[in-house]
């Protein structure tokens, strides 16, 4: 699952890192995805991330993360989406 791949990259630290450390990791992933460093991630940038293999799933995940439906993700939207996916993953264990 796409969310799981991104979350593994985001939460690659200890089992339960402090929230501030987790946010830093999310920011690092966001910056790697944001190829043109404009503080926004487009669908093309999102799908181009090397960890993304399923482009259809990536498009669905992007749409779910794009809270204001403007066609790009801010760090805040990306962080909120990643945290929701992490919570869902924990619940599903």
Supply angle C-alpha 24, 60, 39, rounded to 5: 35
Q: Which stretches of the chain are assigned E, i.e. beta strand?
A: 41-42, 72-73
Amino acid 18: pLDDT: 52
Q: Average pLDDT in the 25-31 region? A: 91
3-state secondary structure of 51: coil
Q: Hey, which residues does 41 pair with through a beta bridge?
A: 73
Q: Average pLDDT in the 35-52 region? A: 93
Q: Which CATH superfamily is domain 2-12+19-91 in?
A: EF-hand (1.10.238.10)
Amino acid 93: pLDDT: 82
Q: pTM of the prediction?
A: 0.74
- In angstroms, the CA 52 to CA 15 distance is 23
In this predicted model, what pLDDT tens digit does every residue of 5-18 receive, in sequence order?
555 544 443 344 55
């Amino acid at each position: 699952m796409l969310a799981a791949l991104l979350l593994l990259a985001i939460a690659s630290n200890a089992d339960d890192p402090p929230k501030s450390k987790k946010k830093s990791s999310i920011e690092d992933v966001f910056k790697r995805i944001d190829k043109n460093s404009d503080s926004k991630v487009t669908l093309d940038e999102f799908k181009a991330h090397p960890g993304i293999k399923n482009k259809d799933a990536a498009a669905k995940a992007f749409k779910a993360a794009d809270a204001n439906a403007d066609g790009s993700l801010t760090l805040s939207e990306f962080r909120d989406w990643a945290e929701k996916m992490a919570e869902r993953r924990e619940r599903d264990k």
